[in-house]
Structure 1
Amino acid sequence: MTRIESAHGALADDLLDAVSIPDGAETSIDRALTPSARPSEAAAVLERDPGMPASTWRLRSDAWEYLRFGVKRLALGSDDVTAIAPDSEITRSLRALETIEMYWAGFGQRYVRAIGELLAAGDYMTALERIGRVVNRLRGDTVPEEPRDEFLDDQERTDITSDADPRPRFEVLVIDETTELDRDTMRAEALKLRGPADAFIYEYVIVPSEDDAVAAVLTNPNILACVVRPGFSEHSRQRLSKDLAETIAYARADQDAGTGAAPSRSSLASVQRVLGLADTLAAIRPELDLYLMAGAHIEELAGALTRRFRRVFRREDQLELHLTLLRRISHLYDTPFFSAIQDHARRPVGVFHALPIARGGSVVSSKWIRDLAAFYGLNLLLAETSATSGGLDSLLAPVGAIKKAQDLAARAYGAKHTFFVTNGTSTANKIVHQALVAPNDVVMVDRNCHKSHHHAVMLTGARPAYLEAYPLNDFAFYGAVPIDRIKQMLLDYRAAGRLDEVRMITLTNCTFDGIVYDPERVMAECLAIKPDLVFLWDEAWFAFAAFHPVTRRRTAMAAAKRLEGRLKSSAHATAFREQQERLFAEDGTPATDDVWLSERLIPSPDARLRVYATQSTHKTLTALRQGSMIHVYDQDWVREAEESFHEAYMTHTSTSPNYQILSSLDIGRRQVELEGFDLVQRQLDLATSLAQSIARHPLLRRTFRVLTAHDLIPAAHRETGRPMPLRDGLATMWEAWAKDEFVIDPSRITIEISRTGVDGDTFKHEHLMDRYGIQVNKTSRNTVLFMTNIGTSRSAIAYLIEVLVKLAERFEEEQAQRDPELPSAERVDPPLPDFSAFAPGYATDESLPDGDLRAAFFRGQQRGTVEHVLPEELRARVERGEQPVSAGFVTPYPPGFPVLVPGQVITAEVLDFMAVLDTREIHGFNARRGYRVLRG
């Protein structure tokens, strides 16, 4: 067996496991392929590859690719008839594809069956031609020639001919119990309605049951609309794989939990079943447009179902449905600001304002800088302007194209309001802080959050109360803040009679290293103690998460919407009243902190949801550098925040914003609404594939170690306990993300490199970047973080693995050549330091942790109040019992959080940590002059 055959043997086993194949059932493929020869020994010993993630899009693509490889060998005579034995790779792949093609438009199940019949008849060349058409479509290639295969029916001929159509295409899911003839009729009618003036084309995916509908939207990212016809059945006639069946169950349970619906649907009336399916589909893929096609009583149904469905049609309204589908996709496709910029660039204008580069005026006529236009292109210069007229709108007071673009972004990300930011999330964080907090408000801040939050607290005059994340001392970075610590701090402020001073809490979700909170739980339990608390979630690295059904639930906007629904339910009100009896005595005295900490707290139905999220869109989605967004889900927006927010926005936003950044945010929104699910699913799968390749490669696993949830999350914060949930299937990931306090973003792979003998910074610069051109953002003393994104390709993953193999070989050779008489350079690093305390004079009181950061900062700006002290002298002072006070921020970068803040007492633990840092860039510390310290 060749190497590629062996690899695809495992693939076919995984494909069979990932889709629905009845036990003991004989499919049409089995009946067609019944050669008398015994199965080859190779085919008989194939085993499932546990390391291949069961991603349907990838398994489908690889299975078709393998079929072309295998059938080509048959056609060329390289293999004999045993290659299509019942247990062979070709037969197994065809059998699986016959099922999985049910959920995709285009060639379909009959096409797969016809290939099996061709192989059974020995017509390998025709079968190869048919397989090639599918592979070409999956690759995005067109097939302009007229199909001549006599096995094709008229429908299939039309489908293949339409592949040459260059217009963007999407798929429409129809849920209805129909015959094969009905399905052919529906597809034929859709083709008749297609006209040359249509900007887009679509194809139908028709499934008979609710199970199949959920399976289709989970596996087929090309589906952008659903048409529900009440004739569908509840359960699939196929035997779904364990993973897919469990994922469907989780999707339904999630929706039931969010709406208070009954868990069982079997007894529901027809209309209620339609509503339940609509709610489930919308929860899985919010970008989907849902339409109902009904017969009798359509007027009454329209009034009852408007919230779930965009429109209700009668069955004869096929043209109206066709026009509606196309118009709705045009709304998703619309990019108002990008279109305005394009129009401006094409318009002849005279430039008499303050931008010489506009229209290329100072460049194209220059003798010396024409290479700027040659490198970036003339369109960049044509789009430059400082004018806000002609449809370009003003970022500071948008009423036209920018306002519409921001509204579309709010829809895409599930926010009530969205604002574009053109100078990064550091500025976005400062805007939110200034808008929501005032001098002397207490802000609970994750101590290892990005430095911009600390700077924002200083600028506003708020007093930070630092929350401590759990340390990961073995890897020299922090995790996240456990919910018990957050609750305890709120309870401490309540006990001190100062809870009214606590205004806001800000947390990083997800952290640089990929540790993800459960925002819904955090907000619910915090609101149970302080019902008006404001939340700022720094999602700088998490913008992509809104476009996958599993990761979305842990975004701030989705969590806020879900929690809002819970607060309105009668079941929640009942649970709240019952818990209050346990938390308070009859006289209103609260129970002990132990009781409050032991229960999962339930907020009052009257709690107010005031949730903000800042995202570095450019970090994980398509946008130019510094393109960021602020998302708002604030029930008190108009009364409490709108005016102050706009004032803060104008304070920090340039009056000359970069229009190219704004355009990229606009068109990036179009991308994620139309193909975000596809791109994010591929990203997560490729990351899992990378982790598994490293963990299973004999050489790589001797040199590197992939850190999992077991390494990065303490067991007390993991209920499900799986080290890499997505590796075990989407259902396992869904369960972990639904239950665990913390989870790991699977798109981030942290590799422990201690056995290489070099530190993370050296590994990053000298080995990855300088030698092989591989760029990474973050390292620690003994780890390197590899981040995949929606632009990562399979080729890029393969290249990285190839480089890691070369480096592992190099490190092993160096270790083998090492003089055994030389002592090994073992290094024991100090633990990560907690925040010490604010010094007397800056601390608010002696019992609670907040302090006056602003006063310390500005005192540290006065030359006469500051001295520079070298580390050795500073250590000596600490050992003498002195308490030196930091005059400024000291921030290693990356990851960008301060080890010291103004007014903080400098301790031996901080100095020990700083002494072993191998980060090359440390803001606020001068190696020649030392630390800036406030004079006594």
Structure 2
Amino acid sequence: MSKRLTFGTNQGTATPESAWRKRKDAWEHLGYVLSEISSEYQEENRRQEHELEAGRLLGLLAAIEPYWANPGIEYFNEVSRLMSGGQYEDAMKLVYQANQTFRTLTQYVDLEGHEGAETDSLESGAASVSKGKLYIPMVEILLVDNGPTEEIERFKEEIVEQRQHTDPFHYNFVVVPSVEDALAAILINPSIQAVVLTARFDTCTRRRLSSTLKNFIARRMNGFFGSTKQIQGLLDLENILDDLRPEIPVYLIAGVALESIAHEITGRFRRIFSRNDRMDLHLSIVSEVLERYQTPFFNALQKYAKRPGGVFHAMPISRAGSVQNSPWARDLVDFYGKNLLLAETSATSGGLDSLLDPQSSIKKAHELAARAFGSHRTYFVTNGTSTANKIVHQSILAPGDIVLVDRNCHKSHHYSLVLAGANVSYLEAYPLNEHSMYGAVPLEEIKGRLLQLRREGLLHKVKMLTLTNCTFDGIIYDPRRVMEECLAIKPDLVFLWDEAWFAFAGFHPVYRQRTAMTVATGLEEELENEEYAQRYAAQKAALPEPGTSNQPENDQAWLETRLLPDPEKVRLRVYSTQSTHKTLTSLRQGSMIHIYDQDFALRNLNAFREAYMTHTSTSPNYQILASLDIGRRQAELEGYALVQRQVDLAQSVCRAMARNELLGKYFKILNSDELIASKYRESTSANPVRDGLAAWDEAWQNDEFVVDPSRLTLDISRTGVDGDTFKHEYLMDGHSIQVNKTSRTSVLLMTNIGTTRSAVAHLIEVLVKIAEELERKRRLDGRVLAMGKKSAKELIPLPDFSSFAPEFSGGGGSGDMRAAYYLTYQDPATHFLSSAQIRSELMEGQRIVSAVFVTPYPPGFPVLVPGQLVTLGILDYMDRLDTREIHGYHQDLGYQVFTHEAMAQLQPRK
């Protein structure tokens, strides 16, 4: 008989980024090891090796499993007991059952003897039926209670007894005794959908947490739990839980005198119960999860598609009418399925609602999205964030207003500003010439421009600041600091944060602190705080008067100080546009506009409605709307788990690069120290995520810029292949790996909530194959050769924005692109000149003014805009580009510029 297995309990818990993967792998690998041990053909030495490995796996699971309910610590202990007794086959069966549950995340109820179970459960929308069994989703509830074990077990049993087979999901309790354990569970276990607090808990854990988890928890607990009052301890724990996972409710079970404490904790807990309120607690848990599960428009669309009816209106394709029996179009039904066409309609009644005037299901879907994303109001957009940006700009800006804009923002902003007629003041991002890309706009640049406009007496014209958070390359701002310091200079400044690539960020505790809506909420709370008012008063007394055109030197102190806005004057007006379809679940072009505007009803409601009407189709795609509804539901119920997995998978690519010598020879993942200059970072870590959750959190709280760890910039400069060739000929054509953005020396790899472990493994395998081919060519030829038709040329300095021609100047470095844009309508105001012709005229002292946007892809931002002066530096950059796609440039004709005669008829603006 084999020796009994023993295992240590001194292994720390895994970090939140890796817990899901390590736990799943440990259970699956344990099943394999037990099957090997149980094999009668197992050699003794191999058997001993497998027993040692089983002991190691038990040690890992012993640290993680207490924070999960399914299969949970008791189930794990039974597996351990069987293994210690040498009953490996019985243990293997239990492990197999656990792994089956992991794969489905459901339990099933036999429908025999439960008439109506299928109908009742499916009405709730969460369950599914297969082969006579009703599959019920499983969630977990965190119970924080350090009372007697027997009492806790009795409480759990009495709650579970309230469950019915018609419940839309089932739940089990994870029980922890302390604050640190509660925070560890909420971070490690994304299946937790509610928290039940009792007044019986310790502060510190008796378990050994990993150092990174321990440090993160200590950071978040700092400043709390200093009071000896029991109620304050409960409020402190609720505060931290709300900060980490605001989407999940926190319930309180109070011992006695509920009425006497209710007034002290009003609004902090979802509901307060006595220990005897078993049924109400159960119903509250079920009801709240179902509230997040609601998809009012998707449900209405499903019901519409199931109803019989006749169409005597538009859309022959509605209900598959024009294609169902057509020998020439029937394959459309075969490919997409009947449901898509049954739901294709132009109806706005019968529960479907109107996107342009929502009163029922769409209105409710908007309200649920606003709750999920933390906004005052949320609006769905069915033709992309390009349109969302146009709506916001048009609703805020009028001709003559000045708007500060990152020059490298998406082209939709540039075109929006032409339509709005505002004067544009372009801000320069810091350049990364070595990598042929730009970073983000330093706060010093933004403040400096605002102070310049103030000195010139133009600050009253400044209406909005527009920035991209995060950038295409994953550079993320500190929105809190940007808004605080800009509002200190102009208290009514409106902010538009283009978060097209950042919709997922609101569902992770580290990411969330850099989202526009979260920051706006926090700023509003802080500005109402008396302690903040005192800090502002102290700063105001110390700062010199604002600089003037005669005394600009005073502004230096404003530039060097971390400014605080006047709480009596500030109006928080924050807008965020998000491409839900880019980083969350939605069909193509599904986007949202989130609004946190204290003056919306007073100053922007009507203008926004008109702008929304202007840019929104009267025939919106209902499938896109339904997918936005579903995407919001999924984000609220499993967003944290999906984002955590997304980051972990991205970091697994980094780890593979570090481990594989051949990959490291030709490729490199650029870290924070290569994408962000040290002056913009207080943290010293090149990769804070790699260094643990606490380092990640610290960097994201303190650094001016951070890098999204789910977006990997792959430096390919050592391959001898330019980014465009690498993307098309080797990744996409050669291996069917789709990427979007490249620079001359890099390729951007983005994980998302749909990325799988097998996809990451395939990517790594492909990169190894490419590296092997490069190595083979190097050995044959004695040097690294370009594998494609193009080779990487010397680096091209990225051009700065030159300036607007005086005829289109709006003051303070701003310009009127609208005037320049519409001047092209006058014939013959423009003509085409080649690069050589422009160079010749510039050398002769002539001015050349661009008439259109010129946007090369990559890098994807306008190098020239209407009304901008063309310079030799810009021509040098354009002439040395070998990109395939340049919008606004004609290969045969050259650049469209204004004629000297057209410019002569204009007067320079003062």
Do both proteins adopt the same fold according to a TM-score greater than 0.5, normalized to the shorter chain? Answer: yes
Q: Partner amino acid for 2:237?
A: L
**What is aligned with 2:468?**
508
Residues 518 and 684 of structure 1: CA distance in aligned 2, closer, same or farther (over 3 Å):
same
Q: Measure the CA separation in 1 of the matches of 2:792 and 2:402.
A: 44
Q: 1:45-64 residue pairs with structure 2 within 5 A?
A: 55-64=18-27
Q: Measure the CA separation in 2 of the matches of 1:204 and 1:406.
A: 32
Q: Measure the CA separation in 2 of the matches of 1:136 and 1:826.
A: 50
Residues 586 and 723 of structure 1: CA distance in aligned 2, closer, same or farther (over 3 Å):
closer
**What is aligned with 2:503?**
543
Does structure 1 conserve the Cα–Cα contact (< 8 Å) formed by 2:507 and 2:635? yes
Select which of 7, 16, 21 maps to 2:11: 16
Does structure 2 conserve the Cα–Cα contact (< 8 Å) formed by 1:15 and 1:54? no
Q: Partner amino acid for 1:596?
A: W
**What is aligned with 2:804?**
838
Q: Secondary structure at the match of 1:506?
A: strand
Does structure 2 conserve the Cα–Cα contact (< 8 Å) formed by 1:583 and 1:590? no
Q: Measure the CA separation in 1 of the matches of 2:503 and 2:899.
A: 44
Select which of 374, 379, 392 maps to 1:419: 379
Select which of 573, 586, 592 maps to 2:554: 592
268-277 or 861-870: bigger deviation: 861-870
Deviations 1:843-867 (A, max 9, x none): 124xx21011110011123331010
**What is aligned with 1:226?**
195
Select which of 746, 763, 771 maps to 2:709: 746
Q: 1:557-568 residue pairs with structure 2 within 5 A?
A: 557-568=517-528
Q: Secondary structure at the match of 2:513?
A: helix
**What is aligned with 1:33?**
none
Q: Secondary structure at the match of 1:726?
A: coil
Q: Partner amino acid for 2:780?
A: Q
Q: Measure the CA separation in 2 of the matches of 1:80 and 1:71.
A: 14
Q: Measure the CA separation in 1 of the matches of 2:365 and 2:673.
A: 42
Q: Secondary structure at the match of 2:699?
A: helix
**What is aligned with 1:236?**
205
Q: Measure the CA separation in 1 of the matches of 2:813 and 2:860.
A: 22
Select which of 540, 544, 559 maps to 1:580: 540
**How does the TM-score come out when normalised to structure 1?**
0.89
Q: 1:389-408 residue pairs with structure 2 within 5 A?
A: 389-408=349-368
Q: Which runs of 4+ in 1 moved over 6 A?
A: 12-15, 81-87, 141-146, 586-591, 819-826
**What is aligned with 2:781?**
818
Q: Measure the CA separation in 2 of the matches of 1:685 and 1:886.
A: 46
Does structure 2 conserve the Cα–Cα contact (< 8 Å) formed by 1:18 and 1:243? no
Residues 68 and 640 of structure 1: CA distance in aligned 2, closer, same or farther (over 3 Å):
same
Deviations 1:605-634 (A, max 9, x none): 121110000001000010000000000001
Q: Partner amino acid for 1:641?
A: N
706-715 or 870-879: bigger deviation: 870-879
Residues 784 and 401 of structure 1: CA distance in aligned 2, closer, same or farther (over 3 Å):
same
Q: Mind listing any 5+ residue stretches in structure 1 that lack a counterpart? A: 1-11, 20-51, 147-163, 254-262
Q: Measure the CA separation in 2 of the matches of 1:590 and 1:230.
A: 59
Does structure 2 conserve the Cα–Cα contact (< 8 Å) formed by 1:856 and 1:902? yes
Q: Measure the CA separation in 1 of the matches of 2:160 and 2:42.
A: 41
Select which of 833, 849, 858 maps to 2:813: 849
Does structure 2 conserve the Cα–Cα contact (< 8 Å) formed by 1:294 and 1:312? yes
The alpha carbon displacement at 1:87 in A equals 11
Select which of 867, 870, 873 maps to 2:834: 870
The alpha carbon displacement at 1:63 in A equals 1.6
Q: Measure the CA separation in 1 of the matches of 2:192 and 2:36.
A: 34
Does structure 1 conserve the Cα–Cα contact (< 8 Å) formed by 2:546 and 2:555? no
Q: Secondary structure at the match of 1:366?
A: coil
Residues 457 and 826 of structure 1: CA distance in aligned 2, closer, same or farther (over 3 Å):
closer
Tell me, yes or no, if structure 1 residue 759 matches structure 2 residue 759: no
Q: Partner amino acid for 1:522?
A: V
Q: Secondary structure at the match of 1:168?
A: strand
Q: Partner amino acid for 1:353?
A: H
Does structure 1 conserve the Cα–Cα contact (< 8 Å) formed by 2:545 and 2:554? no
Q: 1:613-652 residue pairs with structure 2 within 5 A?
A: 613-652=576-615
Deviations 1:737-776 (A, max 9, x none): 1111100001101111112111101111111111111100
Tell me, yes or no, if structure 1 residue 208 matches structure 2 residue 195: no
Select which of 289, 298, 302 maps to 1:342: 302
Q: 1:20-169 residue pairs with structure 2 within 5 A?
A: 55-76=18-39, 78=42, 80=44, 88-140=52-104, 166-169=135-138
Does structure 1 conserve the Cα–Cα contact (< 8 Å) formed by 2:304 and 2:350? yes
The alpha carbon displacement at 1:732 in A equals 1.3
Deviations 1:664-689 (A, max 9, x none): 00011110011000001000100011
Tell me, yes or no, if structure 1 residue 388 matches structure 2 residue 348: yes
Q: Secondary structure at the match of 1:510?
A: coil
Does structure 2 conserve the Cα–Cα contact (< 8 Å) formed by 1:83 and 1:90? no
Select which of 594, 597, 604 maps to 2:566: 604
**What is aligned with 1:182?**
151
531-540 or 59-68: bigger deviation: 59-68
Deviations 1:892-925 (A, max 9, x none): 2355321110000011111111122233221111
Q: Measure the CA separation in 2 of the matches of 1:800 and 1:452.
A: 32
Q: Secondary structure at the match of 1:95?
A: helix
The alpha carbon displacement at 1:144 in A equals 7.3
Residue identity over aligned pairs, in percent, reads 52
Q: Partner amino acid for 1:852?
A: D
Q: Measure the CA separation in 1 of the matches of 2:627 and 2:407.
A: 33
The alpha carbon displacement at 1:93 in A equals 2.4
Q: Measure the CA separation in 1 of the matches of 2:376 and 2:341.
A: 35
Q: Measure the CA separation in 2 of the matches of 1:561 and 1:471.
A: 32
Q: Measure the CA separation in 1 of the matches of 2:42 and 2:662.
A: 33
The alpha carbon displacement at 1:696 in A equals 2.3
Tell me, yes or no, if structure 1 residue 478 matches structure 2 residue 473: no
**What is aligned with 1:193?**
162
**How does the TM-score come out when normalised to structure 2?**
0.92
Q: Secondary structure at the match of 1:504?
A: strand
**What is aligned with 2:905?**
none
Residues 822 and 613 of structure 1: CA distance in aligned 2, closer, same or farther (over 3 Å):
closer
**What is aligned with 1:718?**
681
Does structure 2 conserve the Cα–Cα contact (< 8 Å) formed by 1:860 and 1:902? no
Q: Secondary structure at the match of 1:362?
A: coil
Residues 368 and 310 of structure 1: CA distance in aligned 2, closer, same or farther (over 3 Å):
same
Q: Measure the CA separation in 2 of the matches of 1:776 and 1:430.
A: 27
Q: Partner amino acid for 2:146?
A: E
Q: Secondary structure at the match of 1:465?
A: strand
Q: Measure the CA separation in 2 of the matches of 1:526 and 1:323.
A: 47
Residues 476 and 820 of structure 1: CA distance in aligned 2, closer, same or farther (over 3 Å):
closer
Q: Mind listing any 5+ residue stretches in structure 2 that lack a counterpart? A: 1-6, 111-132, 901-910
Select which of 881, 888, 903 maps to 2:845: 881
The alpha carbon displacement at 1:413 in A equals 0.6
Does structure 1 conserve the Cα–Cα contact (< 8 Å) formed by 2:517 and 2:594? yes
Tell me, yes or no, if structure 1 residue 298 matches structure 2 residue 258: yes
Does structure 1 conserve the Cα–Cα contact (< 8 Å) formed by 2:681 and 2:705? yes
Residues 18 and 231 of structure 1: CA distance in aligned 2, closer, same or farther (over 3 Å):
closer
The alpha carbon displacement at 1:80 in A equals 4.3
**What is aligned with 1:46?**
none
Residues 382 and 825 of structure 1: CA distance in aligned 2, closer, same or farther (over 3 Å):
closer
Tell me, yes or no, if structure 1 residue 265 matches structure 2 residue 229: no
**What is aligned with 1:661?**
624
Deviations 1:104-135 (A, max 9, x none): 11232233233233222221111211222222
